[in-house]
Amino acid sequence: MMHRIIKSQDRLFDLMRDPRAKEAALDAPTAMNFDALNASEYALLVTFRRSGEPVPTPVWFGLRGGRAYVRTLIDAGKVKRLRREPRVLLAPCTVRGTPTGPVAEGIARILGGEEDHVAESALDRHYGWRRRVYEGIGTRLGVQTVYLEIAPEPSSAEDR
């Protein structure tokens, strides 16, 4: 039940998304790493449909060791798309997805089990108690999530 409510909330956020998020997803990456995210509250995570169409989503994130970490619903569209195409774009943005900095290309993977603590500590370090409260409620209500790890793809920006 709660999982369906969270999915409905995600659809509402999709409707509120800034159209410039999609425009940024069509731009070529200009950054070689995720340093621009250091001062940002949100990251614009762009995944790709089978057709190649970009799907931008503002997400909470954490940084550690040059990699970005995200927690999301286990059955989120971005997870399904990443299983097929791990290439992503990542840029700092506002809560509505308005880009606020350079875009970097990365490779994402779904973490499992023993690696989750690395992602959780990166997210906790970035958001602290606010996120612990938000995520704690979902966890207690049985919302199933996974962690994503995104590594920068430096060769893509060097080739441009």
The domains of the chain are located at 2-151
Helix H or strand E segment including 9 = helix 2-16
Higher pLDDT, 156 or 4: 4
14: Cβ–Cβ under 8 A, 6 or more apart, which residues?
Answer: none
Instruction: Give the DSSP letter of residue 99.
Output: B
36: Cβ–Cβ under 8 A, 6 or more apart, which residues?
Answer: 91, 92, 101, 102, 104
Q: Which residues pair with 68 in a beta bridge?
A: 63, 150
Structure tokens that stand for 40 in this block: 């940002």
What is the predicted pLDDT for the residue at 139? 62
Superfamily of domain 2-151: Electron Transport, Fmn-binding Protein; Chain A (2.30.110.10)
What is the predicted pLDDT for the residue at 110? 96
Residue with tokens 């774009």: 89
- d(Cα 58, Cα 82) in Å, to the nearest integer? 16
> pTM of the prediction?
0.83
Q: What would the pLDDT profile of 101-149 be if each residue is shown by its tens digit?
A: 999 999 999 998 888 989 988 988 888 766 666 666 556 566 788 999 9
- d(Cα 13, Cα 57) in Å, to the nearest integer? 9
Instruction: Give the DSSP letter of residue 101.
Output: S
AA letter at 39 = A
Which one, of 36, 64, 65, lies nearest residue 122 by Cα? 64
